[in-house]
């Protein structure tokens, strides 16, 4: 795994003397796809038959800018909850659950907003790790990307589309409070560490959900609720140490959205003129979304590209921009014999 992730580092230009330290808290949108402890067996591996070349955005960042961004060593971290509590009781850092990932990535598949400060305690446990080298984290970045499991799945969207459900809106408000508490906690101990707050994605735009809620009223109700979350994050980003990443706007700029009537109106995109990617579901790289519903490898590559832009624009991070030309060479989207093919345009 380490060799695969390091494969592209040499192609990224000069290595900075002090790479930008980057940590992550969140859910499966940021949990490494090549975690061999949790995503095991043919059916459990992200990308299925294309697993070897299916990357999550942090893995892409390592492949393309591993010399400029430091996410910590790849390895197995974490333990059962009781073990973590014992470790913390004797003054050692603990974390849950066990997973294989970058050391500074605390995102876990299935996490909800409450896991930022409670249960998994992602932010307090990250801060405890940062306390071991506080100087190195001055000017570092923590990406906060969470919320879909709290209020963004199909059942919640259905309730919002039907009647702007008060229970879901209350969950959104709780999530906003959790994010605020997590950022405040981080800045209490590491005031010079920057934060990227990622807005909520609208899952009405992917998978089977594309065929649902095809009316202006339903779409408007969903959008208003999701705007409630994003508006709070944008307000937090008035702090110069905080950036907001608009996930819905990013997706719409690439694949498009729905018509004013709520009908699907998505377009294909081309990666360097060699690979056409449609807003469809499947494990081959020509699909935006994997068969299991998570973001596909091209989606994640372009997301990593956009994150670098945000870091440079908001924080003057000085990371060389990722170009689309870097994404297709060296077998990044390798065709595999006997598997579904993705034709060039």
Report the b/e string of 214-238 with b at 16+ CB within 10 A: eeeebbebbeebbebbbebbeebbe
Average pLDDT over residues 93-117: 93
pLDDT in tens, 8-17: 333 333 344 6
Q: Rounded to whole angstroms, how far apart are CA atoms 278 and 243?
A: 29
Q: Rounded to whole angstroms, how far apart are CA atoms 276 and 117?
A: 41
Q: Rounded to whole angstroms, how far apart are CA atoms 63 and 70?
A: 12
pLDDT for res 11: 37
The mean pLDDT value of the chain amounts to 89
Quick one: 293 exposed, middle or buried, by C-beta within 10 A (0-12, 13-18, 19+)? middle
**pTM of full prediction above 0.75:** yes
DSSP three-state, residue 70: strand
291, two tokens: 């068969």
pLDDT in tens, 305-338: 999 999 999 999 999 999 988 887 545 665 444 4
Average pLDDT over residues 116-134: 96
Average pLDDT over residues 38-51: 82
Contact 182, 176 (CB under 8 A): no
Tell me how far the alpha carbon of residue 297 is from its chain's centroid: 12
Quick one: 100 exposed, middle or buried, by C-beta within 10 A (0-12, 13-18, 19+)? middle
* Share of residues in the chain with pLDDT > 90 (%): 74
Local confidence band at 43 (pLDDT 50, 70, 90 cut-offs) = low
pLDDT in tens, 148-183: 999 999 999 999 999 999 999 999 999 999 999 999
pLDDT in tens, 219-248: 999 999 999 999 999 999 999 999 999 999
DSSP three-state, residue 277: strand
Nearest CA among 57, 71, 153 for reference residue 113: 153
Contact 199, 143 (CB under 8 A): no
Q: Residue 7: pLDDT above 70?
A: no
What radius of gyration do the chain's Cα atoms show? Answer: 20
pLDDT in tens, 256-282: 999 989 999 999 998 877 788 999 999
Local confidence band at 39 (pLDDT 50, 70, 90 cut-offs) = confident
Q: How many residues does the chain have?
A: 345
């Amino acid at each position: 795994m380490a060799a695969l992730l390091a494969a592209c580092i040499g192609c990224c230009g000069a290595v900075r003397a002090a790479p930008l330290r980057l940590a992550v808290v969140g859910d499966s949108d940021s949990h490494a796809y090549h975690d061999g402890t949790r995503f095991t067996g043919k059916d459990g591996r992200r990308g299925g038959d294309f697993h070897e070349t299916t990357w999550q955005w942090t893995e892409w960042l390592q492949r393309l800018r591993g010399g400029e961004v430091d996410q910590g060593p790849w390895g197995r971290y974490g333990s059962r909850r009781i073990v973590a509590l014992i470790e913390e009781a004797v003054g050692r850092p603990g974390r849950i659950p066990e997973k294989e990932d970058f050391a500074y990535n605390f995102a876990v598949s299935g996490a909800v907003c409450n896991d930022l400060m409670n249960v998994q305690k992602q932010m307090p446990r990250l801060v405890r790790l940062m306390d071991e080298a506080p100087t190195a984290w001055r000017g570092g970045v923590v990406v906060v990307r969470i919320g879909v499991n709290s209020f963004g799945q199909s059942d919640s969207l259905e309730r919002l589309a039907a009647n702007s459900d008060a229970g879901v809106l209350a969950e959104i408000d709780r999530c906003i409070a959790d994010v605020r508490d997590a950022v405040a906690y981080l800045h209490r101990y590491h005031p010079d560490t920057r934060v990227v707050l990622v807005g909520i994605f609208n899952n009405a735009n992917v998978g089977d959900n594309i065929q649902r809620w095809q009316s202006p009223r339903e779409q408007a109700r969903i959008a208003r609720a999701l705007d409630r979350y994003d508006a709070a994050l944008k307000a937090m980003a008035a702090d110069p140490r905080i950036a907001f990443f608009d996930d819905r706007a990013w997706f719409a700029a690439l694949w498009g959205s729905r018509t004013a009537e709520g009908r699907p109106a998505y377009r294909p995109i081309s990666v360097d003129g060699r690979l056409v990617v449609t807003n469809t579901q499947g494990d081959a790289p020509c699909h935006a979304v994997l068969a299991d519903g998570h973001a596909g490898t091209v989606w994640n590559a372009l997301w990593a590209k956009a994150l670098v832009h945000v870091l440079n624009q908001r924080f003057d991070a000085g990371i060389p921009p990722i170009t689309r030309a870097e994404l297709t060479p060296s077998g990044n989207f390798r065709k595999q014999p006997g598997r579904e093919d993705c034709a060039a345009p």
